[in-house]
Amino acid sequence: MLIRADGAARGNPGPASAGAVLIDADQPGANDPAAPPVAVIAQPLGIRTNNYAEWTAVVLALERAAEMGAVEVELVLDSKLVVEQLMGRWRVKEPTLIRLHRQALSTLSRFTRWTARHEGRASNVAADALANLALDDPAAAGRTEAASGREVQALWSKGGSDPGTTDPEPEAWICATCGVQYPLSLEPPVACPICEDDRQYVGWDGQRWTTMAQLVAAGHRNHLTEEEPGLVSIGTEPTFAIGQRALLVRTPAGNVLWDCITLLDPATVARVRELGGIAAIAISHPHFYDAMTSWSAAFGDCPVFIHAADAEWVQYPGPGLRLWEGDSKEILPGVTLINTGGHFPGSTVLHWAGGAGGRGVLLTGDSITVVQDRHWVSFMYSFPNLIPLADAQVRRIVEVLRPFRYERIYSLWEGRVTSTDGPGALQRSAERYLSHR
């Protein structure tokens, strides 16, 4: 059985309804949005939210399919949110929706196989029209129970919404200045707290928002470059937001993505999978949270390690989020996160013991940044706003890294690498920094 389901609410909450068409998936042309149904649903729900209506439509359709003896079901929905929640990639938080979510999963367990996918509203005209018919003409909606496919089409052409119009879809909005992605919503957030903090800035043209699809349409693409054996950088062209690169650390125990970038497209996912995928993501500080939840979802909701001291800055938590505490944490054999503090209380660097041919590598964010003269590094509370770091914090950075052995320091931008004597560069740079305070 192929199921197309949709909910409607005029106001949020407001008068709501559920609509669905159930189609014999074995019939010719079953995937055609206008394929004749074997059963339909058009049910008023009273005053409810749009999300409640969408989930109810799914539950009612699944229960009808089970009653009709379906063995396999394929859900085709125009709500990306419901699809992602059904597949377990995004959480359901609202208590009423949790109940519907559990009810849907319980019914799905009765089938031998099920799938769910997202298609645009243009592919879901019938379910959308039936939901609207339940609001506009409940008597006509009641007659759909016994109607033939052709009669149902006549009813929804009478009462449904205009197939030529589309309702807006929720988007995971992206701040154009810092590149951080926010949870799904119909409207972009009012502000980006990360940019309004004094370590960052709101763009000169004011707060602007974009989406992943808009970035791809604008021609942004990712490129992958091998920095050394076992280390691959991933950067975006043309540059976007802060313009940093991510680094993929490849180890026998799995790959770790250090820091994150915003753009994630199918070509990048395919290329990273060829390199062994991602076992874990670790991020240095809030300016690089970017699309971390989307990256995690693309690789099986892999864990995203962020120091608990920066938990308040997480804008888009996902099922992979792991908040860690303390001074250090080994997340894979030979891959250790170290809390340096400085730029943010939870600022972190990554130590890769196997890097540089076994001599060790340090991957940093903003607390330690390789400068233009790549024999040196610097330390700042804010680089864009030129706010220096307190002396005590610089000394702490040096001390917490003293036990670790490393040859190279890779910083946040391409080419910013201190290739030899990393500890010496760190020590000399700290002394120079403190002497000019």
Q: What is the pLDDT of residues 10-20, one digit of tens each?
A: 877 778 899 99
Which has more pLDDT, 157 or 128?
A: 128
Query: Mean of the per-residue pLDDT values for the chain?
Result: 90
Q: What local confidence, expressed as pLDDT, does residue 297 receive?
A: 86
Per-residue pLDDT, averaged over 295-317, amounts to 93
Which has more pLDDT, 169 or 132?
A: 132
Residue 57 phi/psi, 5-degree rounding, is -60, -40
Q: What is the pLDDT of residues 68-109, one digit of tens each?
A: 999 999 999 999 889 999 988 888 877 778 989 999 999 999
User: What is the band of 161 on the pLDDT scale with cuts at 50, 70, 90?
Assistant: very low
Per-residue pLDDT, averaged over 230-242, amounts to 96
Residue 224 predicted with pLDDT over 70:
yes
Cite the beta strand spans of 59-200 per DSSP E: 72-77, 113-118, 171-175, 181-185
Q: What local confidence, expressed as pLDDT, does residue 140 receive?
A: 59
User: What is the band of 141 on the pLDDT scale with cuts at 50, 70, 90?
Assistant: low
3-class SS of residue 170: coil
Query: What is the fold, at CATH topology level, of the domain defined by 2-159?
Result: Nucleotidyltransferase; domain 5 (3.30.420)
Per-residue pLDDT, averaged over 22-31, amounts to 91
Which is nearest to 65 in space by CA: 42, 40, 44, 87?
A: 40
Query: What is the fold, at CATH topology level, of the domain defined by 213-435?
Result: Metallo-beta-lactamase; Chain A (3.60.15)
This prediction's pTM: 0.67
Q: What local confidence, expressed as pLDDT, does residue 145 receive?
A: 53
Which has more pLDDT, 378 or 87?
A: 378
Domain positions in the chain: 2-159, 213-435
Residue 314 predicted with pLDDT over 80:
yes
Nearest-5° Cα angle at 402, 398 to 407:
100
Q: What local confidence, expressed as pLDDT, does residue 329 receive?
A: 98
Q: Give the Cα separation of 430 and 400 in Å (integer).
A: 13
Q: What local confidence, expressed as pLDDT, does residue 394 receive?
A: 97
